[in-house]
Amino acid sequence: MKPILEIHGIGKRYRIGHQTNTYLSLRERMLDVFRFEKTEKEDFWALDDISFSLGRGESLGIIGRNGAGKSTLLKILSRITPPTKGKILSRGRIASLLEVGTGFHPELTGRENIFFNGSLLGMKRREIESKFDEIVEFSDVEKFLDTPLKHYSSGMQLRLAFSVAAFLEPEILIVDEVLAVGDAEFQRKCLGKMENVANSGRTIIFVSHNLQSLKFLCQQALYIEKGKLKAIGEIEKTIDLYLSDNSSVNSLASYQQNLGSLRQDSDFRLINIVLAQGNRSVIDNVRNGEELKMEIEYELLNNLSRFRVFVDICDQFGTTVLRTYHDEVDYARLSMKKGTYKSILTIPANFLAPVTYEFRFWFGIHNVRMVEPIDGVTFKVNVENSGLYNMTYNGQYSVGLVCPTLHWDIYKN
């Protein structure tokens, strides 16, 4: 069978002028005519030579760092903007959800907005009418159906918007990060609905920073880096490649390289610090859904009675979130003989928030002095959300600097 979507060598060029506005004013344009020197413009290829094809019923996740070209690719696939070069051949009806509630108007009632929004998303009037009751039921806003949207709470607006989108039945569905908003219960409801879509033989293209939900929905992943196709293939492998790639640009790596050139200490020598998850070593991209092990390897050149390694987990501004000592549970550990050691700190799964942390490693002789490196070892670590985190809290930004999964009981009186 022919693939439902074929992409051949798509490229998108933007011209970057030296003005901040994308649109011109007529006055500027007319003045330009009288200026003899041309305003300098730079070419920027937001996407370059992307090719892939998708079969019916396949689902593809698109991953890449911010600015890698993910959104541009989605815009091109949904035909909002044309490619500068290349071809797209689609053999099915495409619907794209780059935003929920596009075209919602505050003056119109819920009912009216369902019709307008549904029609924008490509539904026929008859189709909307036949699904109307289901949409309303899914959204939970029956009571306010004839109230203008401006009187809705933002949560209600969102639910209404999602509900319309959830009943789209295209052959190819393009979804951008829309699940990053909305309350958790509703999010799960939508994920469930999407999963149905994915299992019902429709093709889905999905962009999200939530790697967990990508894994949940997609079999394949496309990894873009700086506008170029870096890898395409099975989802787990591609995500692993993405995570390990994005680790190489960090300061732990440079620390590891410079370990030899650290100032000598008469008592202590730092051999290495390694971060590991599962059986992979990671550098600056960590997933909060898995346990993180920090292995600190060092050599003591003398017997020390009060040596300790301790670690600060700080937020990106350097404020300490917590400090933990390797002798925390047992003071006897302070006393260490000459030799090589590994102190391993384990941070449990579902503990870190999906934010950027600074990890600081300190080495010292308790109440005597800090050993070299006296300033400790500090590097930044970016936590990707793959855990239960997103199920509990609202979308993109974190509430709190750690988010352990704590135990709750609920009793009915």
Partner 1 sequence: MQPRGVWSGSNSMTKNEQEFLVDAERQRLFNWPELWHYKELFYFFTWRDIKVKYKQTVLGFAWAVLQPLLMMVIFTLFFGTALKIPSGNLPYPIFVFSGLLLWNTFSSGLSNSASSMVNNAQIIKKIYFPRLIIPVSSVLVSLFDFLMAFLVFIPLLFYYDQGVSWNVLWSWPLALAMTLVATLGPGCLLSALNVKYRDFRYVIPFLVQVLFFLTPVIYPVTLLKYPILQYILVCSPMYAAIELFRYPLTSIQPDPYFMVISLISSLFFLIAGLLYFKRTEDFFADLV
Task: Give the residues lining the site for partner 1 (CB under 8 A).
Answer: 11, 13-15, 22-27, 29, 75-76, 78-93, 96, 98-99, 102-103, 105, 107-108, 112, 115-116, 119-122, 124-125, 148, 171
Neighbours of 334 (CB within 10 A): 16
Q: How far is the CB of 234 from partner 1 (least distance, A)?
A: 28
Measured CA distances, 276 to 91, 280, 285, 358, 411 (Å): 44, 6, 11, 16, 40
Q: Which is nearer to partner 1, 109 or 244 (CB)?
A: 109
> Could you tell me the smallest distance in angstroms from the CB atom of residue 166 to partner 1?
16
Nearest approach in angstroms of CB 7 to partner 1 is 9
Query: For partner 1, which is the closer residue by CB, 11 or 155?
Result: 11
Q: How far is the CB of 188 from partner 1 (least distance, A)?
A: 24
From residue 82, alpha-carbon distances to 10, 14, 263, 306 in Å are 10, 11, 57, 67
Choose among 193, 219, 176, 159: nearest CA to 72: 176
127/372 with CB nearer partner 1:
127
The Cα angle at residue 70 between residues 354 and 93, in degrees rounded to 5: 120
Q: Residue 244 belongs to what H/E stretch? A: helix 235-245
Nearer to partner 1, 97 or 190 (CB): 97
Instruction: Give the residue with the Cβ less far from partner 1, 13 or 230.
Output: 13
Kindly state the smallest distance separating residue 116's Cβ from partner 1, in Å.
5
In the complex, what is the shortest distance from the CB of residue 34 to partner 1, in angstroms, rounded to a whole number?
A: 17
Please give the structure tokens belonging to residue 410.
């609920």
Helix (H, G, I), strand (E, B) or coil at 158: helix
Q: What angle do CA 75, 80, 86 make, to 5 degrees?
A: 70
CB of 395 vs partner 1, minimal distance in Å: 18
Q: From the CB of 155, what's the least distance to partner 1, in Å? A: 20
* 52: CB partners within 8 A, 6+ apart: 7, 60, 222, 229, 232
Strand intervals (E) in 220-265: 220-225, 228-234
Please identify, using beta-carbon distances, which residue of 169 and 295 lies nearer to partner 1. Answer: 169
CA-to-CA dists, residue 11 to 109, 228, 359, angstroms: 41, 9, 40
Work out the burial of residue 145: count CB atoms within 10 Å of its CB; fewer than 13 is exposed, 13-18 middle, 19 or more buried. middle
- Can you tell me the distance from the alpha carbon of 21 to that of 27, in angstroms, rounded to the nearest whole number? 14
Give the shortest CB-12-to-partner 1 separation in angstroms.
Answer: 9
Nearest-angstrom CA–CA distance, 171 and 248: 39
Cβ proximity of 357 and 315 under 8 Å: yes
- How many Cα atoms sit within 13 Å of 24 on the Cβ side? 10
Q: How far is the CB of 79 from partner 1 (least distance, A)?
A: 4
Q: Which is nearer to partner 1, 122 or 364 (CB)?
A: 122
Name the residue nearer to partner 1 (CB basis): 23 or 408.
23
Using the minimum distance from each CB to partner 1, give the nearer residue, 79 or 280: 79
The CA distance from 135 to 168, in Å, is: 10
Shortest separation between residue 67's beta carbon and partner 1, angstroms: 16
Cβ closer to partner 1: 148 or 155? 148
Nearer of residues 73 and 270 to partner 1, judged by Cβ: 73
* Residue among 209, 232, 230, 207 at smallest CA distance from 220: 232
Answer yes or no: are the C-beta atoms of 273 and 255 closer than 8 Å: yes
